[in-house]
Each structure stands twice: as structure tokens, then as C-alpha cells.
Structure 1
Amino acid sequence: MTRRVRTRIAPSPTGFLHLGTARTALFSWAFARHHGGDFILRIEDTDVARSTQEAVDQIIAAMKWLRLDYDEGPYYQMQRLDRYRQVVEQMLAEGSAYHCYCTPEELDAMREAQRARGEKPRYDGRWRPEPGKTLPAVPDGMKPVVRFRNPLDGDVTWNDMVKGPITISNRELDDLIICRPDGTPTYNFCVVVDDWDMQISHVLRGDDHVNNTPRQINILRALGAELPQYGHVPMILGPDGDKLSKRHGAVSVMQYQEGGYLPDAMVNYLARLGWSHGDDELFDRDQLIAWFDGAHLARSPAQWDAAKLNWVNAHVIKNTSDAELAPLVAQHFAARGIAAAAAPTLEALCALFKDRCATLVELADWLGMYFVEVSPREEDLAQHVTDAVRPALRALRDRLAEIDWDKGTIASSIKETLASHGLKMPQIAHALRVLVCGRVQTPSIDAVLALFPRETVLRRLQGV
């Protein structure tokens, strides 16, 4: 690298941080971390009508949850309006921008006439100053837009980090508006000034921005600014092959936190959507940073696979310490109005049940029987709590009331009860699970019972 690596993510706060932007943020973060550079958060909030503080808060919360720490920011474009106006005035003075007084009606008529002639609709440059050209009379009382004076000839070429060399003719580009009549700058202009001022070296973003890139490059060149290197990653597709959208389910990052996913799992899974390191499917953040050098970014769209995400999340849950899992599960209980955070056995419960769960929600579902009353299904009671088993259950209850309350002693009591009543383990184990846990399947019944308070077990076995 000939210059310090500085990357950015620049979401618009017109909605919550969605998965595509989160993946772009991840790629930009990992690239900066790999090269020992800087990662910057920028909030593009010039769309005043649609931007909300709630969306800003959600974006920052999502970045924090994913642990994509940024070195600078958040910068807000609305706090930089004076800087944008300064650059607009500079460009007007240098002749790389000009005032245009076309009305919306004139622009509509212009485009209609072009379509009628079979031409691509575009601004025809009628207010563009040229040597020897006479411009129309300035309308009274009308505030103009400011347009960028795009080169008329030549090409814009860049070597895209993902797609390779891309060339677009300047004849395909018209003179875009960089400042509206009310003085507010437009998206493409703000992006250029921000990237210039913040010395952004690499821009990773979705390939829906490819058409913006030649315009931004031309403005940067007009300003005499050093160009960043661009990389345009393909979109994420839904399971049906269409662009991932709300109709495919949750697309806001924070919905996945609510759904019981761990940030390390989301980072692992998002990284593999459009990037690879050999056949490695599971890796941690340190490995991602070590491997993410900007190569091996896929040119083809990635497809969202909920089952694959669950597989990754199950792996991360399994390999997360019980001390870390317990407070996270307690948060899910709190959202359900269940006070479980202070339970001394919560870590042990996580250890016993986490291998069965793809999400923290599933883990909380399993552990709920320890904190709220259960309601066994009538069909389970009828099938497993039979007259043949009831005497043994009553005898076992009497034993459990007297013994030391630990897994080994509980296991011995169950075996002794089975022997004295001539039953097999599944007969009494299933009945115990139904009555005490409210479900037929659990881990080893002695381990499950040992984590209940003795009083709870005795109460749930009362009246068999």
C-alpha cells in the first residue's frame, strides 16, 4: 500500500442497518484491520424528510452489537453543510460547475422529446457555459441548481477490486446536479467531498453503486483529489434468487440479535457471503482479519441461507463459555418478563442444554421449565404417566425427598426404584420428563433433575 488504508461505511438513516450494509461494513472493517488502517463511520443524513434519530440509534447499536469498532465518527453530513457549500463555490469559481435554471417542466419536456427521438433521456447542457455560446436569459426570482461540468469526451476507467477493469464513456454521463435550489448538496457530491476530506483510500460497497462511480471519479479529478480504490460487491439474494428484501424475513441486523443469534456467528456468516478463504467455513475474528486482504471477493451474488446461519450460530453457541452465555440468555428471559438473571444454576443450565440449540431463543425455550410452571400435554400424560408407572413414581418421590440433591444420588435413586418395581429406564424417565419438564425429550434425566430445586421436583410429582 502506497497510502494509509482508510475505509468507511456510510449508511443512510432512512431505515435500520440491513444485512447488505452490515456485510459491506464488515468487509471494510476487516480490510482496514488487516492492513493496520482506519475504519470510519459516516451517517449520510442529507435526506432530511426521511432520516430519523431512531434509525441513527439503531445503526450505531447494530455496529456495536456486531463489534465493528470504528476509529473515527460517526460523522454526520448535515453537520458538514458549510464545507459542501465551500467546495461548490470553489467549483463555480474554477468553472467545473455552473448554475442551471431549468424548471422541472422544461426538464420533463426535454426528456419526452429525447424519448420520442429514441434517445437516452439526459440533461442537454442548455445552461452549460461554452466558448462563444449564448446562454438563455436568467429567469427572474428563480433559484438555480448547480451542475457539475462533466467531461464531454474520453472514458472513465478504474480497476475494481471485485469486478476487475471497468470502463464507462463520458458520453454516457450528463451534467449531474450537485446542489439543489435550496442550497442542500446531493448524494454523489457529498460522498466525493467526504471521501476526499477523510482521505478514504478504499471504497467497498454494493454493486448498485457502479453507475455512481464514474461520476464521483470525475468530480474527484476536477477537485484534484487522490482517487480511492473502488470495489463493488454483488447483492445478497434471497432463497428465491431475488434481491434480499423484507419479504424474505428479517433484514435488519438488530432483528437477529432479538432472534437469539450471536454477533460472532453473524460476522462469520456474513463474511462468507461474497468472500472465501479456501474451504474454511468456520473462523473467528482474528482469523478473518488475518485473511481478509481484499482478494477472493466473489463476482457472483451470494444467496441467503437461514439454515446455514443456524448451523454457524449453533457452532458458536456450543463454543461460547457458559459464563458468557448465561447473561445473554437472562436478557431473553427478561424480554419475556422472567427474572432469571440471578439464578445460580443458569451457567450449569447453559452447559447442559446449549448443544441442542441453534439460537439463544431456543436455549431460553429449553430453560424456561426451570423458571415457570409447565403444562404437560394431555396426550403425553396419557401415553407415559400410566397406572403401571404411577407406583414407581410415588416411591421415587419419597426417595427424592430424603437424599442428597446431586446428579449421582438422583441417578442411584432412579435405578433402585426401577429395580424394585421391575421397570426399564425409558418407562420412568419419560414419565419424569413429562411431569417435571413438560416435554418428552431432554438430556439425561438425572442431570436435568439435579438442576431443579428439590421442592419444584417434588411439587410437580405430587398427586401421581
Structure 2
Amino acid sequence: MSSTPVRVRFAPSPTGLLHIGGLRTALYNYLFARRNGGTFVLRIEDTDQKRYVADAEKDILSSLKWAGLAVDEGPEVPGACGPYRQSERSDLYRRYATELVASGKAYYAFDTPEEIEAVREAEGETFRYDAIIRNKMKNSLTLPEEEVQERLRSEEPYVIRLKVPVGETIAFDDLVRGHVRFDTSEVDDQVLMKSDGLPTYHLANVVDDHEMAISHVIRGEEWLPSAPKHVLLYRALGWTPPVMAHLPLIMSPAGGKLSKRKAEEQGIMVNVCDYAEAFYEPEALINFLALLGWNPGDERELFTLDELCEVFDLARVGKSGAVFNKDKLHWFNAQYLRAKAPESLVPAARYILEKEGLGSGCDDAFIAGVIRLMAERIETISALPQAASFFFGAPDTYEEKPVKKAWKENTADLVNTYIRTIDGLSEFGAVELKAALVSVVEDAGVGMGKLMLPVRIAVTGLGGGPDLFQTMQLLGKEEVISRLRTATEKLGS
């Protein structure tokens, strides 16, 4: 690593909600910065006004905060390289674009969209506005200087294009891809300034990375085809490009890139805010995303964010796409969920339960008790209403197979005996409830299962679940006895 200070940036466009792939890109930048004692910059690339979405920036900021990725410089954390919204830096782009024209590295192009389309139709699929085509077009390279100036004075619409050199090779070492080479014959004369006076992504991106002293550009593989354009721009401006690293795509389990459509088909949420709203554990999502394209070199899977900062290395990022495994994400979430104190999960659980019409009259201690008993049986807190509904209301139906298996001719008598026994308990605790059941089955000369499964069915409506006696203790004597009596009436003798 050179002695140059490490400065990385996450530069999303506010054209929609923050995508899960965007969060992984932000995470890798954050980890690289922290590992190398560097700076993590957030830059909002909002020059595409046609695709601008209101509140998208707010979503980006809140999603990063939820995920625990603290920004060192950005719109909310002013620094020496601000402003951090591209819409507030327009004069800078215009100045550099004009300098490029003056130095012969760029040119004014006055072609209308209709004229370009006509040439595209004539050229066919091979059309590219490049060194060959530009000589046939209406631009400052083909028009007399006097006419160019007159068109500028009359405010005729124009764009500024980069003059891509002919017959050159663009090569650089990518920290993920290795040595990468492009021929300039493959690169078009990209637009730098649009006719509305705003810069394109390419110009603004390069200018800002230089002005913000970005040392490493870590971004998705989809930007690799743009890399030669950016390297050419750096050359034209006389600047040294940052080190680049292009991350592998996140793939759909069905194959191909994880698009919104494919994600929906697989039941995968693609927006970070959806995970926050569903009360996923942010540490779990971060842990999962870190391993989605990177590996630590051993079998370890669970990492805190601080631990990831200590071991993350771009050299261990793979080139191949990484498949988004929803089941694996849920496994991670379950690990972090179970490690938390039940009391800390009560607000989220209450919110989720009450949305489903459950738990409105329950105190925090009761809900914490439910979480404690159900923690090993759920992977997300949002699964609580369905998995633990019996805690919040007596079952009105009973699972058919367990009933057929357990409810026999003398079962109701056994249950009634158990009711009388526990009704007389002075301490309605799990230990006492279990001892009472053992006493009843021993007196009846039957096995534990002859009574324990029927009691579980009566109390929960199910044939399986959390510890039965702790469940009964949490529900309380009055509720348990009521459910046992109801079951004997409904299921008969």
C-alpha cells in the first residue's frame, strides 16, 4: 500500500431506494477505509434530474445509518472537499469541460437527437459516435471556427464530447480483476456536458474523485465498461487515476444478475429499507453481505462490524458473481437475534404483533417471555405473530395429525385429573407443572407422552413448540386451565 492517504467514496444516485447491492458496495468501501485508517466519503450523484426521486437521498442516508456505516464526510458531515452533492458543484464541471475543449481534448457537438438517430439507422448496430463518425457530424472539429463561435453566441443547444484518441491501449491493474486492457477503438466519444448544462456521470465522477482526493474507487462490476472512459479523462486532464476495484455482481438463485424482477420471483427484498422495516438485525445483513463476494480465508462466518474492519482485504474478493441465498441470510439473522436480550426486542415485537392484532393488552415482561421461549424457533422477529400466536389467544382449532395420534378414549380423564392437580398448586411454575404431570401419569400407569402431548395440544393447538411447562408458566394458571377445559369439551373423551 502506498503512503497516499486512503480515501474512498460511496457515490449513489438518488434515483430510487438504496438497493441491497448498493449497500454491499458501501460496506466494502467502509471496511477498506477502516482497515487502512482511511476516510469514507458519501457523495450524492444527483445530476440526472430526469430520474431524480424525491426522498431518495433521505433513504440512502437513513439506510446507511441503520446498517451502522458511519460516514466521515458527506452531505450531513461537512468536510474540506464539499459540497457533497453534485448538483451543488456544477461550476466546477463546466470549468473543466471548457478547459478540455481549449486543450483540444474535447469538442462542441451541435448534432440534434434526430440527426444522430438518422446516422445510427444508416450505420446499423455498429454505430458508435467515435473517431470515424465524428468527422461526418456537426461539431467543432468539422465546422469552421467562426461558425462554431456564432452557434455558441446564439445559444444553439450543444453537448461537449471527449475526443477519444485513435489506436491507443488503455490498461490498468484492478485490485479484483487483475490487469485490464481496452483498445480506444472500443470507446465512443462520450458526452461530458449535456445540452441542459449539466455534466454526465463520467465527467462529474472523474472531477469529483480528483477534487476529493479519492485514492481508491471500489464499485460494482457493471461500471467496468466505463473505466476506460474515466482513465482517458484522467489522462486528458493531466491527473493520476485512483486505484480501481470492480466488485462481482450479486446473482439471483435462478441465475443471472439479481434484478428487481428476479428478486420478487424468489421472494427476495432488494431495498435496504425493506429489511429495516421488517426488523431484520442490521448486524446480520452486514455480516451476510460481507461474505457475498469476499471470504476471510478460513471457515469462520460470524463477524461483528469491528471484526470485519480488522480482517477485510480486497485481495480476497472473488471475480465471480455471488448468489443471494435468502435461507443463509435468515440463518445469520437467527444467530444475531438469539444473541440479543429479549427485553431489547420488545419494541419491535410489540409493533409487529399489534399490526397483526395481537398482544395489545400484554405488558413488556410477557412479550419478553414469549421472545425468550420462541428465540430458537424463529429466524426473524417478524415471524413471531405466526409462530407464537397461541401466546396471545386460546387456539380455536387443533392440529389434526397430533390430535389423531394423542387424543384417545381416556385422554380427557387424564387431562381433567391434571387440571385438578395444577389448580391446587400454590406455585404455578414450570418445575411444579412438570412434577404434577409426572405424578398424574405415574398414578395412571401410563407414559409421559400419553398426557404431555394432549396438554400441549390443548394449550397451544399444536403438536410441537417451545418448552411446554415454561409456556404454561408464562400463560398463567387461569388461562391454562381454561384452555385445558375447552379442549376436553371440544375433543371429547
TM-score by length of 2: 0.86
1:336 aligns with 2:356: yes
Partner of 1:113: 122
Give a deviation string over 1:147-196, Cα, whole Å, max 9, x none.
22333342222110100111212232232111111212111112112212
Unmatched runs of 5 consecutive residues or more in structure 2: 76-83, 489-493
Give, as a single letter, the amino acid of the residue that structure 2 aligns with 1:229: V
1:359 aligns with 2:380: yes
Higher mean alpha-carbon deviation, 252-261 vs 423-432, is at 252-261
For residues 69 and 101 of structure 1, the distance between their equivalents in structure 2, rounded to whole angstroms, comes to 45
Partner of 2:286: 267
Q: 1:424 aligns with which of 447, 457, 482?
A: 447
Provide the aligned C-alpha RMSD in A.
Answer: 2.6
Partner of 1:171: 185
For residues 5 and 410 of structure 2, the distance between their equivalents in structure 1, rounded to whole angstroms, comes to 77
1:409 aligns with 2:432: yes
Give, as a single letter, the amino acid of the residue that structure 2 aligns with 1:330: R
Q: CA deviation at 1:81?
A: 2.6
Kindly tell me: are residues 330 and 460 of structure 1, through their superposed partners in 2, closer, same or farther at Cα, counting changes over 3 Å? same
1:321 aligns with 2:328: no
Give a deviation string over 1:4-25, Cα, whole Å, max 9, x none.
1111112222222222212111
Give a deviation string over 1:100-144, Cα, whole Å, max 9, x none.
1111122123233333xx8552242245656x9846945566211
For residues 86 and 156 of structure 2, the distance between their equivalents in structure 1, rounded to whole angstroms, comes to 26
Partner of 1:369: 390
The answer (yes or no) to whether the contact 1:128–1:149 under 8 Å persists in 2 is: no
For residues 40 and 337 of structure 1, the distance between their equivalents in structure 2, rounded to whole angstroms, comes to 43
Kindly tell me: are residues 119 and 242 of structure 1, through their superposed partners in 2, closer, same or farther at Cα, counting changes over 3 Å? closer
SS of 2:56's partner is: helix
TM-score by length of 1: 0.91
SS of 2:3's partner is: coil
Give, as a single letter, the amino acid of the residue that structure 2 aligns with 1:454: K
Give a deviation string over 1:340-387, Cα, whole Å, max 9, x none.
684213333323221222222234433332224433236255654444
Kindly tell me: are residues 90 and 342 of structure 1, through their superposed partners in 2, closer, same or farther at Cα, counting changes over 3 Å? farther
State how 1:226-375 maps to structure 2 within 5 Å. 226-246=240-260, 247-249=262-264, 250-259=269-278, 261-279=280-298, 280-339=300-359, 342-375=363-396
Partner of 2:170: 156
The answer (yes or no) to whether the contact 1:354–1:363 under 8 Å persists in 2 is: no
Kindly tell me: are residues 370 and 376 of structure 1, through their superposed partners in 2, closer, same or farther at Cα, counting changes over 3 Å? same
Give, as a single letter, the amino acid of the residue that structure 2 aligns with 1:308: K
Kindly tell me: are residues 378 and 306 of structure 1, through their superposed partners in 2, closer, same or farther at Cα, counting changes over 3 Å? closer
The answer (yes or no) to whether the contact 2:394–2:459 under 8 Å persists in 1 is: no
Q: CA deviation at 1:231?
A: 0.5
The answer (yes or no) to whether the contact 2:356–2:385 under 8 Å persists in 1 is: no
Partner of 2:416: 394
Unmatched runs of 5 consecutive residues or more in structure 1: none
Give, as a single letter, the amino acid of the residue that structure 1 aligns with 2:238: G
For residues 331 and 91 of structure 1, the distance between their equivalents in structure 2, rounded to whole angstroms, comes to 57
| Count of aligned positions | 461
For residues 383 and 456 of structure 2, the distance between their equivalents in structure 1, rounded to whole angstroms, comes to 18
Give, as a single letter, the amino acid of the residue that structure 2 aligns with 1:417: V
Higher mean alpha-carbon deviation, 397-406 vs 290-299, is at 397-406
Give, as a single letter, the amino acid of the residue that structure 2 aligns with 1:122: Y
Identity %: 32
For residues 185 and 155 of structure 2, the distance between their equivalents in structure 1, rounded to whole angstroms, comes to 33
SS of 1:345's partner is: helix
Q: 1:98 aligns with which of 93, 107, 110?
A: 107
For residues 376 and 94 of structure 1, the distance between their equivalents in structure 2, rounded to whole angstroms, comes to 81
SS of 1:82's partner is: helix
Kindly tell me: are residues 90 and 445 of structure 1, through their superposed partners in 2, closer, same or farther at Cα, counting changes over 3 Å? same
For residues 359 and 468 of structure 2, the distance between their equivalents in structure 1, rounded to whole angstroms, comes to 25
SS of 2:14's partner is: coil
Partner of 1:20: 21
Q: CA deviation at 1:445?
A: 1.1
For residues 186 and 400 of structure 1, the distance between their equivalents in structure 2, rounded to whole angstroms, comes to 76
For residues 394 and 52 of structure 2, the distance between their equivalents in structure 1, rounded to whole angstroms, comes to 45
